[in-house]
Structure 1
Amino acid sequence: MSSTSRLSIGLKLGTAFAALIAAAPALAQDEETQVAAANVDGIEESAGDEEILVTARRRSESLQDVPISVTALDGETLEDQGATDLTAVMQRTPNTTLQIARGSNSTLIGFIRGVGQQDPLWGFEPGVGLYLDDVYVARPQAAVLDIFDVERIEVLRGPQGTLYGRNTIGGAVKYVTRRLGNEFSGRVRASYGSYDQIDLVGSVTAPVTDTLSVGGAVAWLQRDGYGENLNTGTEHYNKDVLAARASIEFAPTSDLFFRLAGDWIRDTSNARHAHRLIGNAGIPAYDPPADEYDTRAGAGDPNEVETRGISLLAEWNVDDRVTLKSITAYRDGETEGNIDFDGTPLPTLDIPAFYEDDQFSQEFQIVYEGDRLQGVAGVYYLDGHAAGAFDTVLGNAGLTIFTAGSVDTRSLAAFADFSYNLSDRWRVSLGGRYTSDRREGTVFRQTLLGLRSPFFGNEAAVPLTTNTDYTNTREDDQFTPRASLSFLPTPDVTLYASYSKGYKSGGFDMRGDASLTPNTVNGYDPETVDAYEVGLKAYALDRALYFSVAGFYSDYQDQQVTVQVPVGTNVASFVNNAADSRIWGLEAEVRANITDAFSVSAMFGYTNADFKRVITFDPVTQQDVDVSDIWGFQNTPEFNFAVAPTYVHDLGGGGTLTFAPSISYRSSYQQFEVPNALLDEDGYTLVDAAIVWTSADQRFQVSAVGRNLADERYRIGGYNFPGALFGNSIVAFYGPPRTFTITGEVRF
């Protein structure tokens, strides 16, 4: 985009923001000065229990007061319990799936209440938005963030279209890092565990002056593979990640705050290939390995993912009621790797791939905190680019299908969300967001004679046909409202009812084959969800017990469905707005302090997701077909629950000893919309346990953690390409096996 265009957009945003600022005094003229501001650092002491503060509505408030289903997890607690990365959060969160994408080491897929996006191909948007310190992470590559230097993680369930915008149609996950403060501190953590796991993490905060602090954290995370590539002899399911974060905080006055932050992640773990589930006509090369983590893949082991980001937060407390915020951010990344779909040394179905992306975003907010009126309003702009290329190598036919393309996105939005205390017992919240998207997609798809294309090293490949070659644009806009009513019969009990609308933008299928599906050049439309929720959040027994219960119903319309169907010597890929569905369910979370030393937390989730209408295209017959009675929801178990007791033994001057076992369960679920008895997961139970010693001055800590103690083998993804041409490749990817880790930490 030209500098003139950026300046024009900046002026428009500035004008809109100025109008919001001018409107603030009118909104507030009858308000009294707020008595006290909330502590934004996550947890604040209160009588009888800890009051958890979250920023689910883009401002700090008590979890109990938020009319949204939110799970807030403290970063230190996650570390103590041996949580290695973001995917561990789903074991503590109702109706949530956060997993490493099939054929990947650090690409995130997310589903909440049945809504999400499994396919991480460039150009496809997630259904669960990920936010790193209020910066939207548009691409899922390297988004399986490791748990280090994190203050808390918030999981917001249900559409968050008003405050978080497009592509949070299922919900949002907020990864909140620690602010530095103005005191010197640091810590060093080292871990050793199963499969020669070695993790080294260090962080430091150093005040330069009374108003300026600098800090950073570095993590080196290494582990041998859970399995082996029996063809090449290399580690399989290994980990080799180097990550760093750094920030500068400047507070020249008590009313001004600036934070410049950067992060960098480099993942050079070996490519994660497929494990075959069945053989192929008695050919030994296609026999499934005995161990689920082993493969015989021959596509290649090199794999590298690198992402970088920088952001600038500026806050100005205009007075006791009004705060102005600006969030400016830029992120980019590249991915080079291989996925062997057939899991054999033969090039039956191999996919070498390359991705790249970058994004610039700017957000202005005005936050108002009055005695009876509270809320936030703002404007948001995103300029994103994603591109890539991959080969579909069909060794049995001696052919390669080369696919390349890019998608450019510009999104502009204005939003407002305010709550008003009608009385001491009644509160009402209203909000809305208008989003305008413009996307330009370019797709090129060509069939060549030979194994691999010139782009991936085979200069001798001979072009046969061009299947797709187009550039097109589409513009979509959407208004996403939100409304809620809360009733507080006592200060410790909140009942609420809410309505919200979610929106995932339309786009272009980067795999689209115009020779088989001509309509692919027109792209696909947005999908929407109308969600209704009723809930109860309450403290009881002198605040020793906290529990929340919610029931939800969602009307899911124009659902985007990605389909890949073998057709002759080709694979037809298309995305269409094929489905309407209804989703309803229940959620419950409990935290009980039984004694001063013993506490229990638990959660339960139930989701009933059912397609009401599915009309999809059959590329063989070139006709639309009704598959409503066949399809089911993917990555959506009907039940999930977890129980996690914690016992803390006081050793007097010797510190404390904490024992924290946990058990979590997920019922059966499908990998794709079409059921497959070989691929689909029957359900599994994970048993974990942690023992943590902490010194009396809290400077030293030693922990021993066991995860998946029952050594469950459970599928988290797969591919389904039956037939002789594809080597009858029905393959799966698995979650981690049983592991043990010992960790020591020193704080200073």
Structure 2
Amino acid sequence: MIARKILLASVAGLSFLSPAAFAQAAPADAAPDQADAASSPRGDVIVVTARRRTETAQEVPLAISVIRGDSIEATGNFNVVKLQQLAPTLQVYTTNPRNTSVNIRGLGVPFGLTSDGFEQGVGIYVDDVYNSRVAAATFDFLDVAQVEVLRGPQGTLYGKNTTAGAINITTNQPTFDFEGRAEVTAGNLNYKQAKAAISGPLTDRIAARVAVATTSRRGTLYNVTSRRWINEQDNLGIRGQLLFQPTEDLSITLSGDYSKQDPECCGTTFVRVGTTQRPITRQYDELVKAINANPNPAYPGRVYQVPSRNPYDRLSDLDSNLNAGNKIGGASLKVKWNVGSGTLTSVTAWRFWDWKPENDRDFTGLSIVSKSQNPSQQDQYSQEFRYNYESQKIDFVVGLFGFKQRIDTQGTEQQGADAARWSLTGANAANPATLQGLTASNTQYLKADSAALFGQLSWKVTDALTIQPGVRLNYDKKSGYYQRVVTNAQGQAISCTATPAPGTIAGTSSQCGVYQPQVSAPSDSAWNFTYDFNVNYKVTRDVLAYATYAKSFKTLGINQNGLPLNADNTVNYDASTVKPESVNHFEVGLKTQFWDRRATFNLSAFRTEIKNFQATVNGGQFGTVRGYLANAQKVRSQGIEADFKVVVSDRFTAYANGAFTDAKYKKFTNAPCPPELSGGTITTNPALWSPAGQAGTTANPSYSRPQCDISGQDLPGVSKWAFSYGAEYNIPAHLLDKDGQVYLGVDGNYRSHWNSNASPSIYTEVKGYALTNLRAGFRGEGFDVFGWVRNVFDVNYIENLQVAPGNTGLIAGQVGDPQTWGGTIKVSF
């Protein structure tokens, strides 16, 4: 406590922190503009590889955010989930590593519980290797040199199609000069982090680099049932690289990495209850009263109540096991061969993903769903050949990409001792054995194959005018298999058809209303041709204007996690596949530098229209364990983004980024209804539909819609307004017999309100929030020592809200991190 007060006092008056992107030295073969800027202490040069060649960020005619590795570490943004605090148009939401949404401008991944059957629209690349699972985004950054966030379609530049953008992560590479770095951090909540990297020559032609990182932290929710803190961090990562450079024109890099997470995670807390259209007796509070009034013999003396109705008390009572075991790794071989005026690159990669979760799917301390787990194993293989050519008038990139993936999943969901009282009525509700032990076991696999030929040409018509067309030919094939077997408490397989299948018995209506056996084997394939066209004009040496049109697509999707039920409790097999998305994208932008290149101001405006948008939806049924995919007829995202950065002097730097994003369902007439409009007696007669949030009674039932028209409503997960800022001030100092700088800093971000349900609900509205972080330290050549406070004002905010299954009106959520503080020591040589 004393240490905390001292640290807070030392930074309480500070208002500066390093900007999100610092200058990177221009390479030896940099263009004249790059070299000129690099030679000036006022020049701010950020070198990127966004277009598969080395150039400055200000030369790239697209919207791009660049965050250097040292800035990532300084601001505590140690993975992609945290990176959104520096890049306003990046939205990353996660309920666990598997269920992570990475979107740009509100587009990319269907927001909500994840299905293996769709493609992500935001490609995540690490050293040119495509990571097909968004789960990779939840790992700690490991020896990262730079992160580039490319906004808008990038399919003519990258192997895998990227309809919303790409996150291009570059790690530090092996060096022929011996170097190393180490970093140790400790903070409250028992936070501990250590990182180390070492690089150097093995021979005059071979160099190696090894990096390791480990992070642990106590959980932020206290589970009164298990008497443990949950939602902890427990991460370990290691990366090794071997560089063979037989000649100046040829380099071969062999890389391998392994990352592991093993936390007790990811639990929720009670947030609120909203009224649905179910009968009053079937609402959350009345159900709890009924359970307490009719004690379950399995829990003698129990009187259930949620530990707190204030989510910021950070209390939970989940009674099922929690686990988020997550392993990701792989190996790659990258060959670069300079051939005349061009470079031939080959990237061969294999990656694996092993996911071992345990969840509490009823979000309560009651034994409604007693077991829920959906472990998966993935193998992916990719091969990319790419040729880059550069000349005075013509530059081009042409590539060939192949991808193969298989995911196997074995899921189990089981009803508990309180399930009957929670889900049934009458005599069936009074008998716990009606549903207790009812188990849905699924076996599934997904096979995905993809091949693409892509290319982009830059024609310098004049010294100022460049025309840049790009094309892409893509083939995708997907085939899946899903089988759900439902067994009763005695282990007997049940059927829900008029004539039971051989080896099964007839299930009761109560059992079949919760779980039904299913078998589906969707398969489909598609060819797609897409293109983009960019015109950019250099108004002056430091002012670039550009305009882009892109016609892109996201390939077909298949539902892999169970299909929804129709109103008559039959399986809706029409939902097994979803159509490809068709994307039309328009963008204009302006990139400027002024004040002797001390200041940078970039502006972009965009409009993206998508037909057959792939949305993740959930109708509140227990049986659709992970939600399912459906096509919204039309979606539109439009907005304006601005990025400003200034290097006032060697002593003071600052940045400010902002984005306005208006992302809406333009037409979605057959969406599942939000909880306030669901749960009643379904009717197609609009004259009978009940108002939102009105419960029914036996005498006067509520009537709900079979589907809802949510056209015109906002896309989930998108804040209309988002800002980030930061600044740093330093002064020369001589401390501890060392010369260096004392520096003071601040960074922060703001996001306006957003909705976390695929069909926006009045109950899942997340309030906007602003976070502020401070740090102060002393650095010199080869060392950096600083203290930090994150979420300085201990702001209470919600990261995600979820609608509990069963249409009871229960809304659970995950609260954001409280105020955290600590200190870091970094050394390098």
TM-score under structure 1 normalisation? Answer: 0.88
C-alpha distance 598-140 of structure 1, shift in aligned 2 (>3 A) = same
Among 17, 22, 38, which residue is 1:45 paired with?
38
Kept in 1: contact 2:362–2:805 (CA 8 A): no
C-alpha distance 345-44 of structure 1, shift in aligned 2 (>3 A) = farther
Kept in 1: contact 2:343–2:387 (CA 8 A): yes
1:473 corresponds to which residue? 523
CA drift at 1:347:
2.6
Counting only pairs closer than 5 Å after superposition, residues 50-129 of structure 1 correspond to structure 2 as 50-99=44-93, 101-102=94-95, 104-105=96-97, 108-117=100-109, 118=111, 119-129=113-123
* Distance of 1:514 and 1:83 partners within structure 2: 38
The SS at the match of 2:85 is: helix
* Distance of 1:463 and 1:121 partners within structure 2: 30
Kept in 1: contact 2:139–2:235 (CA 8 A): no
C-alpha distance 659-446 of structure 1, shift in aligned 2 (>3 A) = same
Q: Is structure 2 residue 234 aligned with structure 1 residue 246?
A: no
Kept in 1: contact 2:38–2:44 (CA 8 A): yes
Gapped regions of structure 1 (runs ≥ 5): 1-33, 455-460
Percent identity, please.
27
* Distance of 1:80 and 1:540 partners within structure 2: 27
* Distance of 1:472 and 1:86 partners within structure 2: 33
Q: Is structure 2 residue 349 aligned with structure 1 residue 329?
A: yes
* Distance of 2:721 and 2:226 partners within structure 1: 40
* Distance of 2:528 and 2:146 partners within structure 1: 31
C-alpha distance 419-684 of structure 1, shift in aligned 2 (>3 A) = same
Kindly name which structure, 1 or 2, has the bigger radius of gyration based on alpha carbons: 2
Kept in 2: contact 1:128–1:172 (CA 8 A): yes
2:338 corresponds to which residue? 317
Q: Which amino acid aligns with 2:485?
A: Q
CA drift at 1:571:
7.2
CA drift at 1:679:
2.6
Among 650, 667, 675, which residue is 2:732 paired with?
650
1:739 corresponds to which residue? 820
> Deviations for 1:374-433, whole angstroms, at most 9, x for unmatched residues?
121010000001121323334313233333311100100001101111111111101111
2:179 corresponds to which residue? 185
Q: Is structure 2 residue 718 aligned with structure 1 residue 636?
A: yes
C-alpha distance 211-722 of structure 1, shift in aligned 2 (>3 A) = closer
CA drift at 1:253:
0.5
C-alpha distance 462-686 of structure 1, shift in aligned 2 (>3 A) = farther
The SS at the match of 1:64 is: helix
Among 773, 780, 796, which residue is 1:713 paired with?
796
Counting only pairs closer than 5 Å after superposition, residues 271-350 of structure 1 correspond to structure 2 as 271-278=265-272, 280-281=285-286, 282-283=288-289, 285-289=304-308, 290-292=310-312, 293-319=314-340, 321-349=341-369, 350=371
Q: Which amino acid aligns with 1:113?
A: R
CA drift at 1:447:
3.4
Q: Which amino acid aligns with 1:739?
A: T
2:783 corresponds to which residue? 700
* Distance of 1:452 and 1:660 partners within structure 2: 62
Q: Is structure 2 residue 603 aligned with structure 1 residue 549?
A: yes
The SS at the match of 2:73 is: helix
The SS at the match of 1:168 is: coil
The SS at the match of 2:138 is: coil
CA drift at 1:520:
4.1
Q: Is structure 2 residue 190 aligned with structure 1 residue 196?
A: yes
1:677 corresponds to which residue? 762
* Distance of 1:610 and 1:595 partners within structure 2: 43
Kept in 1: contact 2:357–2:375 (CA 8 A): yes
CA drift at 1:569:
7.8
Q: Is structure 2 residue 167 aligned with structure 1 residue 173?
A: yes
CA drift at 1:128:
1.5
* Distance of 1:709 and 1:663 partners within structure 2: 10
* Distance of 1:449 and 1:362 partners within structure 2: 47
1:504 corresponds to which residue? 554
CA drift at 1:288:
5.0
1:540 corresponds to which residue? 594
C-alpha RMSD over aligned residues: 2.7
Kept in 1: contact 2:44–2:598 (CA 8 A): no
Among 387, 400, 403, which residue is 2:408 paired with?
387
* Distance of 2:307 and 2:117 partners within structure 1: 34
* Distance of 1:107 and 1:589 partners within structure 2: 30
2:475 corresponds to which residue? 436
C-alpha distance 106-142 of structure 1, shift in aligned 2 (>3 A) = farther
TM-score under structure 2 normalisation? Answer: 0.80
The SS at the match of 2:573 is: helix
C-alpha distance 615-291 of structure 1, shift in aligned 2 (>3 A) = closer
* Distance of 2:774 and 2:506 partners within structure 1: 57
Higher relative contact order (CA 8 A, sep 6+): 2
Kept in 2: contact 1:274–1:342 (CA 8 A): no
Kept in 2: contact 1:393–1:452 (CA 8 A): no
The SS at the match of 1:589 is: strand
Q: Which amino acid aligns with 1:266?
A: K
Kept in 2: contact 1:419–1:427 (CA 8 A): yes
CA drift at 1:573:
4.6
CA drift at 1:594:
1.9
* Distance of 2:440 and 2:36 partners within structure 1: 53
2:441 corresponds to which residue? 402
